[in-house]
C-alpha cells in the first residue's frame, strides 16, 4: 500500500477512535441536551464576548444557515442575547445571558473531569508524551499559536532522559556505539554527585511539558567552567533552542565571574560547532582519536569572557 494511503487510513482510524472516546457520537455530549456542534458554539460564546455570527462561521467552519438555526434556538431558550455593533450597524454581536452561563458552567467542569478520568490510568511520562503529541498536531495544522520554549533547572528523572536521548540520537545520526551513552552517563552521574549550585547549573529546554534539549555548565577550577552535554531534539531544530541554551549557559558563567568557558566536541558535530563559533568560542586544538566505534577528530574550544 502506498505511504499516502496508509497514512490516510491511520488518520481515519484515529478519528474514529477519538470521536468514540470523547462521546461525540452520543446525541447529548457530556450527558447534556446539546449536540457536539451546539456545545462547541456555547464554548466559543462563553469564552469570547461580542462574537458575530460571521466569526463563528469562520472559527468553526459551519454552514451559515445551520448556525443561524442553532442561534435562534439558543435565543429562544434564553441562553443568548444580541446587540447591534457600534462599529457596523449591519452586524449583530452575540453574548451569553446569565442563564446561559449558569446552564453551561457544569459542562465546563464535566468536560475537564472527563479528560482527567481519561488521563488518570496513565503515568506522568505517558501523559506528557500524549499532550506533546496532541500539541504537535495543532502546530502542524496551524491550529494555535506556538507555545514558547522555556528553560528550567533539572529535576529528578531529567538525567535519565539526557542519557537516553544522547545515546539514541548519536547512534542514529552518527552511528556511535553504546560507549558514548556510557560517557554521557558518567558526566551526568558526576554532575549529580558533585553538584555545586553556587557555581554549576543544568538547563532543560521544554515546551508544553515536552523536553526539547539540555546543556550543563560545570566548574573546572576557580576561573574556568566547562560547557557540557548540549543537546537539541530533532523536532526542535530550527526553533532557536540550541542558541537559547548556549546563551543561558554563558550568561550564568559571566554572572558567576568565570574568566573562561571551555568545551570538548568532535568535528562532525557541525550544528553545535556553528553555535559555539557564533557565541565567540575559538578552536584551540584538535586531535584524531578512535572512540564510540568511530574514527573522529576531537576538538577543544575556549571562550574568554
Determine what percent of the chain is predicted with pLDDT higher than 70: 91
How far does CA 26 lie from the centroid of its chain?
Answer: 32
The 3-state DSSP class for residue 124 equals helix
CATH number of residue 257's parent domain? 3.40.630.30
Q: Do residue 77 and residue 173 come from a single domain?
A: no
Residues 158 and 297 in one domain: yes
Is the same domain home to 87 and 188?
A: no
Both 113 and 176 in one domain: the answer is: no
Q: What is the mean pLDDT of residues 65-82?
A: 90
Residue 213 grid cell: 534539549
- pLDDT tops 70 at residue 1: no
Mark whether 28 and 113 lie in a shared domain: yes
Residue 202 has pLDDT above 70, yes or no: yes
Instruction: Tally the domains of the chain.
Output: 2
Distance CA 175, CA 100 (A): 61
Give dist(CA 171, CA 293) in Å, integer: 10
Residue 298 sits in the same domain as residue 154:
yes
Q: The cell 461580542 sits on which residue?
A: 50
Residue 38 lies in a domain: yes
Cα distances (angstroms) measured from residue 259 to each of 61, 253, 279, 303: 59, 8, 15, 8
Beta-strand ranges (E) seen in 76-209 are 80-84, 92-96, 150-153, 201-207
Do the domain assignments include residue 140? no
From 73, 102, 121, the end of a domain falls on: 121
Work out the mean pLDDT of the chain and round it to a whole number: 86
Distance CA(240)–CA(107), nearest Å, equals 40
Q: 75-117, pLDDT tens digit by residue?
A: 999 988 888 877 766 778 888 888 988 888 887 777 778 778 8
**Which residues have CB under 8 Å from 183's CB, separation 6+?**
292
Q: Does 139 fall in a domain?
A: no
Q: What is the CATH number of the domain that holds 75?
A: 1.10.10.10
What is the distance of C-alpha 54 from the center of its chain? 32
Higher pLDDT, 50 or 42: 42
- Per-residue pLDDT of 245-270, as tens digits, reads 999 999 999 999 999 999 999 999 99
**85 and 165 co-located in one domain:** no
Please name the residues in contact with 40: beta carbons below 8 A apart, sequence gap of 6 or more. Answer: 60
pTM to 2 decimals?
A: 0.60
Q: Which range marks the domain in which residue 269 is found?
A: 150-304
More confident residue, 116 or 154: 154
pLDDT of residue 8: 77
Are residues 296 and 255 located together in one domain of the fold?
A: yes
Judgement on whether residues 20 and 116 belong to the same structural domain of the protein: yes
Residues 87 and 155 in one domain: no
pLDDT tens by residue, 105-150: 887 777 778 778 878 888 877 887 887 787 777 777 765 556 678 9
- Decide if pLDDT at 29 tops 70: no
Amino acid at each position: 500500500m502506498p505511504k499516502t494511503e496508509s497514512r490516510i487510513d491511520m488518520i481515519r482510524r484515529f478519528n474514529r477512535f477519538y470521536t468514540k472516546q470523547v462521546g461525540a457520537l452520543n446525541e447529548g455530549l457530556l450527558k447534556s441536551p446539546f449536540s457536539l456542534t451546539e456545545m462547541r458554539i456555547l464554548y466559543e460564546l462563553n469564552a469570547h464576548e461580542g462574537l458575530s455570527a460571521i466569526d463563528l462561521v469562520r472559527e468553526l467552519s459551519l454552514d451559515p444557515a445551520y448556525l443561524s438555526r442553532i442561534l435562534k434556538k439558543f435565543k429562544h431558550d434564553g441562553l443568548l442575547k444580541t446587540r447591534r455593533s457600534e462599529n457596523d450597524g449591519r452586524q449583530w454581536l452575540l453574548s451569553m445571558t446569565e442563564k446561559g452561563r449558569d446552564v453551561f458552567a457544569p459542562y465546563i467542569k464535566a468536560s475537564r473531569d472527563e479528560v482527567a478520568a481519561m488521563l488518570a490510568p496513565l503515568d506522568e511520562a505517558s501523559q506528557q508524551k500524549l499532550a506533546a503529541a496532541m500539541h504537535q498536531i495543532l502546530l502542524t495544522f496551524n491550529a494555535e499559536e506556538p507555545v514558547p520554549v522555556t528553560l528550567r533547572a533539572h529535576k529528578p528523572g531529567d538525567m535519565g532522559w539526557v542519557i537516553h536521548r544522547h545515546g539514541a540520537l548519536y547512534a542514529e545520526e552518527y552511528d556511535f556505539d553504546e560507549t558514548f551513552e556510557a560517557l554521557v552517563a558518567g558526566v551526568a552521574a558526576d554532575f549529580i554527585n558533585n553538584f555545586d549550585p553556587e557555581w554549576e547549573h543544568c538547563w532543560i529546554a521544554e515546551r508544553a511539558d515536552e523536553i526539547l534539549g539540555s546543556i550543563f555548565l560545570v566548574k573546572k577550577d576557580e576561573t574556568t567552567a566547562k560547557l557540557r552535554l548540549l543537546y537539541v531534539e530533532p523536532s526542535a531544530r530550527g526553533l532557536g533552542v540550541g542558541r537559547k541554551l548556549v546563551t543561558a549557559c554563558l550568561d550564568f558563567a559571566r554572572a558567576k565571574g568565570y574568566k573562561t568557558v571551555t568545551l570538548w566536541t568532535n568535528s562532525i558535530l557541525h550544528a553545535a560547532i556553528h553555535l559555539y563559533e557564533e557565541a565567540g568560542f575559538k578552536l584551540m586544538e584538535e586531535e584524531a582519536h578512535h572512540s564510540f566505534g568511530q574514527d573522529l577528530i576531537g576538538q577543544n574550544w575556549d571562550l574568554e569572557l
